[in-house]
Structure 1
Amino acid sequence: MKFEMKEVGFKTNVEYGELHVSGNEEYGFRPYQLMVASIAVCSGGVLRTILTKKKMVIEDLSFSTEVVRNEKEANRIEKIHIHYSIKGQDLDPTQVEKAIHLASKNCPMAQSVKGSIEIVETFELV
């Protein structure tokens, strides 16, 4: 990726389009937002694949995140809580929990920050 400086922030072109990154939300995505989104969406995507391979019928999968940052240490991300809401047919909570655990082991983004950012995953069946 090649980044070019803008008046406030930077931009790059990727296959999907132009990405603007800035410390100010008025001019682009903030770096921490991209990091949290990368980890959460990667985890959610791997989870979806695992649930599908286990022949679980998933009608909807959404998730929310809560982020804990440490202002005393450059406002670093210390913890990301991902909460999945899963809608499907005849879902077994034990099997879903196992799938979430397996997904966290197979998500490249989560594994990239292992040991530096705590990732907690919870779920509800709706």
Structure 2
Amino acid sequence: MIFKMKENGFETKFEYGTIQISGNEQYGFRPYQLMVSSIAVCGGGVLRKILEKQRMKVTDMTVEADVTRDPEAANKITKIHLHYTISGEGLIEDKLEKAMVLAQKNCPMAQTVIDSIELTESFKIGYVKG
């Protein structure tokens, strides 16, 4: 990856487009937003794959990230709580709980930060068919 300095931040290009990154959200995504996004989307993607392998069909998933930062330590991220709302067919609460643990263990982004950021998760089942 190559990040090119611009007047108000940096820019990088990928196959699907260009990302503007800046400490000022008027000019692009803030670095902490990209970090949290990576963790949330990685976890959600791995969770979806696990549920589908367990024959639970996921028709919709929303991941809400609640972020805690420490203003006295360079505003570093200290905690991320991910709350999943999952809709689908054949969703079983006990299996979902176990799948979440497995997903966190298999999400590269979560495993990258697990020793420096407290990462917690919860879920609720949305509309269920069958």
TM-score (norm 2): 0.95
Percent identity between the two aligned chains: 56
- Please say if residues 55 and 90 of structure 2, whose CA atoms lie closer than 8 Å, have aligned partners that are also in contact: no
1:106 aligns with 2:106: yes
Shift of 1:15: 1.4
Unaligned stretches of 5+ residues in structure 1:
none
In the alignment, the residues of structure 2 paired with residue 89 and residue 46 of structure 1 have an alpha-carbon distance, to the nearest angstrom, of 18
In the alignment, the residues of structure 1 paired with residue 105 and residue 27 of structure 2 have an alpha-carbon distance, to the nearest angstrom, of 34
The alignment yields a C-alpha RMSD, in angstroms, of 0.7
1:16 aligns with 2:24: no
The number of equivalent residue pairs is 126
Shift of 1:103: 0.2
Residue 46 (structure 1) aligns with: 46
3-state DSSP of counterpart to 1:94: helix
Residue 7 (structure 1) aligns with: 7
Residue 62 (structure 2) aligns with: 62
**Greater than 6 Å deviation, 4+ residue runs:** none
In the alignment, the residues of structure 1 paired with residue 86 and residue 103 of structure 2 have an alpha-carbon distance, to the nearest angstrom, of 15
In the alignment, the residues of structure 2 paired with residue 50 and residue 102 of structure 1 have an alpha-carbon distance, to the nearest angstrom, of 8
Residue 119 (structure 1) aligns with: 119
